[in-house]
Chain A
Amino acid sequence: MSYCRAANDVSRWGDRSRTCGHVRRLARCLIAVLASLTVWVSAGNAADQSIRLTMDGTMKFTPAFFKGGSEIAFVQFVKPTMFQIMCLRMDDRTTRPLHEDETDHELDVSVSRDGAYYAYVKCHGTLKGSIEIRDANQKEVGHVAAGEGFAVYRSLAFAPDNSRLLFSYAENVHQQLFSVDLKGDDLQPLTDSTGINNWPSFSPDGTQIVFGSTRDGNYEIYKMQADGSTIRRLTNSPTMDLRPRFSPDGRLVSFTSNRDGNYEVYVMSEDGANPRRVTNHPERDDYAMWHPDGKQLLMVSERSGNHDLYLVELPP
């Protein structure tokens, strides 16, 4: 039936075409007006004032400034069978694998504050992963072998003076924070609690560590001295507060929370006061990392189903 109707309409196609032209022009005008309105309406939304750094849309994780900020290292889901560390050049926005010939999963890349070292988790076999520590020229500096059985380290973080590397590791039912020197030796436990302790981040002066923990039932953010003492809770929400990061000046802490319904990036004072929402979008904003200038946050944002790196201005 619809085919017949289409055939009968052919003779009127010219008229319709002209009408369509008018409609299209009108639609373009409307779109332009709506677009300008959208910019105006969203002016208070930091995420919409952001700079999109990648365009491929594949899933990305744990971005970190690299080589003095001229590059960004991040983990990308490059194909269904592989996570790989990629490097984005800030000047021409090209990306390349950090390790060209790598065939194993690479996770949780972390870069030292001075850019002299980086570390990542390298997977081996089934559900196993070691820590690899390298200098900026990719020369191996240290290594922490995978544990027995199914065992993968997570959430690596350098001390500001490069004396220690923090990580998270699960054993004996709970997941604790540990540190090693950059050779991967001198293992020191930092937490001894129930639940999961994760995402450690040093303060710029190296005296304190913020981290996530489920010790009180759900994911909250805590702060402790660098030796693991004097633990203080910074957040208290019924849902997840994740991935805290000290700002470069140590006065603020960024984190991810779904307290408002989906994953958004927040900042708060280093004592937990005055939490502020940085992003506000129905899709996910996560993995915030401070720009060295302390005025912007690098993050992974999902927009229209695509996952890309964005630089977002910190709201005043």
Chain B
Amino acid sequence: MASANLSHGESVIELGTFRARTCDGISRRSFLQLAPSLPAALGLGLHASTARVDGAPSDRSPSDRSPSVRAKSVVFVFLWGGPSHLDTFDPKPDAPAEYRGPLATIGTRTPGVRFSELVPGLAQRSDLFTLIRSNRQTAPGHPDGGTVALTGYEERPLPVKPNFGSIVAAHRGHCGGLPPFVSLASGMLGDSTRIIEGYGAGTLPPSNDPFFVSCSDRGQVDLPSLRLLEGLSPDRLDDRKTLLSQLETDLRGFDSAGVAGWNDTYQAAYRLLTSPEARRAFDLTLETQDTRDRYGRTTFGQSALLARRLVEAEVPYIQLNYSRHPEAITSGFEFGWDTHILNFELLQDQHCPIFDRAFSAFLDDIYQRGLSDDTLVVAMGEFGRTPKINQRASRDHWPRCYFSIWAGAGIEPGRVIGASDRLGEDPLSDPISPLMVGTTIAELAGMNAEARARLNVLEGGSVIDELL
């Protein structure tokens, strides 16, 4: 194990509680443990059969699968909780004070376009992306709004429709040793009441559920559903015989219900843990300190860097979540963008500096590393926030109008598409719905209308013509 040679501050990949390298010279033994939730978390797309659900073979590189694939990888940056559009990318400096808020605006690289002073890094990179200011949806709450944002449809009537990532995963199938749909979060997304029902595969086979991976502010990567068991050192992960033996032993510890499906699934666990490609993709220590610094030593910053590595590993769909929970200040919950109180302070102190730094670094890397041509980047929340300041000098939920950021995959950057009215309450132009967002993502990922129909997904959706 290489940890003894690593300098202070160097980080780790964690597989469960296993540290392949440590940041402080500690050499912890690794242990492999399989949790009962492993089948869902792994995604049964890692089954012995890695065929796509639409029946096409899956052993080709993504670029071979469709001549119209513009995005080998999609990175969906989910700003969970609903960032204020007026205080970030759609300021209204001429609106009355009770709408515009106290923040100044700054110029961008896009002539005539101004952002809030809280996103100076992205203002200097407005020529790298296209901004839509006319997104609109209908669900006002977090879990239901999250489902609409991630699937394009409301939660009811049942069944819940699949996440855009699950759709792309189903079309693309498994990619080498890595899952086709990775969601960067410490667990299932939800608020203090329940999960987002549209988190995963929905009407598609559960094999297209997201594979959750979390990353700490120190760059420790954790696969929540893989736990390393006593007696299995990281060096022995490559000892496939031992690993298989260990996994089989572990299987005997579960009841019959838990064992169902394991024969396929443990192969997947085995494949992921022993795949040099997968382990390399998750190992942020392979990045220079300078690169890791540029993203910021925050959970979101290091997760954004991990997302870039997964793009380089050609993972078809990565959902990069700002937080697992939407609430801004709730004990026991991660900090999302739901700023019903202290909106301006939280944006000033935490959310915007973290996002501005990490997303700027991510965009820089995507372009500088030549990844932008075949990577689609979309950043948005489930909705915006009330243009009129609320009783707590903050802003509440506002699904009628919000923003999204689009970059890469041949999308002409440096533009603003759509506009909101003078108060930021409604789109002036044709609104962009979540279904249009999902359809455009699918189209760029190589799923034309025929392919979508074959999977019975995104029915009635249309692409965002102005974007393409």
Bound: A252/B295 CA distance, A = 36
- Would B331 and A305 count as touching, CB distance under 8 A? no
Residues 155-182 of B, flagged 1 when their CB comes within 8 A of A and 0 if not, give 0000000000000000000000000000
- Would A57 and B192 count as touching, CB distance under 8 A? no
Sample of 18 more A-B contacts, CB < 8 Å, known A57-B9, A173-B98: A61-B349, A80-B334, A124-B331, A127-B328, A149-B392, A151-B392, A173-B390, A174-B393, A195-B102, A214-B102, A217-B97, A238-B104, A240-B103, A240-B348, A258-B117, A304-B293, A305-B296, A306-B293
What are the residues of chain A within 8 A of B353 when measuring CB–CB? Answer: 263, 284
Taking the nearest CB of chain A, how far is it from the CB of B189, in angstroms? 13
Measured as residues with beta carbon below 8 angstroms from the partner, the interface class of chain B is 35 or more
Bound: A238/B331 CA distance, A = 36
Q: Contact check: which of B120, B216, B332 meets A261 at CB < 8 Å?
A: B120
Bound: A173/B296 CA distance, A = 34
What are the residues of chain A within 8 A of B389 when measuring CB–CB? Answer: 173
What are the residues of chain B within 8 A of A125 when measuring CB–CB? Answer: 330-331
What are the residues of chain A within 8 A of B290 when measuring CB–CB? Answer: 304
Bound: A127/B334 CA distance, A = 12
Bound: A154/B104 CA distance, A = 23
At the interface, is chain A mostly helix, strand, loop or mixed?
loop
Taking the nearest CB of chain B, how far is it from the CB of A182, in angstroms? 24
The answer to whether the Cβ of A198 comes within 8 Å of any Cβ in the partner chain is yes
8 Å CB interface, B386-406 against A: 389-394
The answer to whether the Cβ of B313 comes within 8 Å of any Cβ in the partner chain is no
Bound: A82/B330 CA distance, A = 9
The answer to whether the Cβ of B342 comes within 8 Å of any Cβ in the partner chain is yes
What are the residues of chain B within 8 A of A129 when measuring CB–CB? Answer: 329
| A152 nearest CB neighbor, chain B only | B341
Residues 373-392 of B, flagged 1 when their CB comes within 8 A of A and 0 if not, give 00000000000000001111
The answer to whether the Cβ of B323 comes within 8 Å of any Cβ in the partner chain is yes
A217-B102, A261-B120 given; A58·B331 CB < 8 A: no
- Would B327 and A126 count as touching, CB distance under 8 A? yes
Bound: A242/B102 CA distance, A = 12
- Would A240 and B117 count as touching, CB distance under 8 A? yes
What are the residues of chain A within 8 A of B9 when measuring CB–CB? Answer: 57
Taking the nearest CB of chain A, how far is it from the CB of B192, in angstroms? 6
What are the residues of chain B within 8 A of A225 when measuring CB–CB? Answer: none
Bound: A125/B349 CA distance, A = 22
What are the residues of chain A within 8 A of B103 when measuring CB–CB? Answer: 218, 240
Measured as residues with beta carbon below 8 angstroms from the partner, the interface class of chain A is 35 or more
The answer to whether the Cβ of A170 comes within 8 Å of any Cβ in the partner chain is yes
Q: Contact check: which of A103, A170, A218, A239 meets B341 at CB < 8 Å?
A: A170
* A contact set with B: CB distance below 8 Å: 57-59, 61, 77, 80-82, 103-105, 107, 123-127, 129, 149-152, 154, 170-175, 194-196, 198, 214, 217-219, 238-240, 242, 258, 261-263, 284, 302, 304-307
Bound: A107/B296 CA distance, A = 22
Taking the nearest CB of chain B, how far is it from the CB of A76, in angstroms? 11
- Would B357 and A305 count as touching, CB distance under 8 A? yes
Nearest first, the 7 closest Cβ-Cβ pairs linking A and B are A214-B102, A170-B393, A304-B293, A104-B331, A305-B293, A305-B296, A175-B393
8 Å CB interface, B246-298 against A: 289-290, 292-298
| B289 nearest CB neighbor, chain A only | A304
- Would B331 and A82 count as touching, CB distance under 8 A? yes
Bound: A105/B103 CA distance, A = 27
Bound: A173/B341 CA distance, A = 11
A127-B329, A127-B341, A305-B357 given; A240·B104 CB < 8 A: yes
The answer to whether the Cβ of B434 comes within 8 Å of any Cβ in the partner chain is no
Taking the nearest CB of chain A, how far is it from the CB of B351, in angstroms? 12
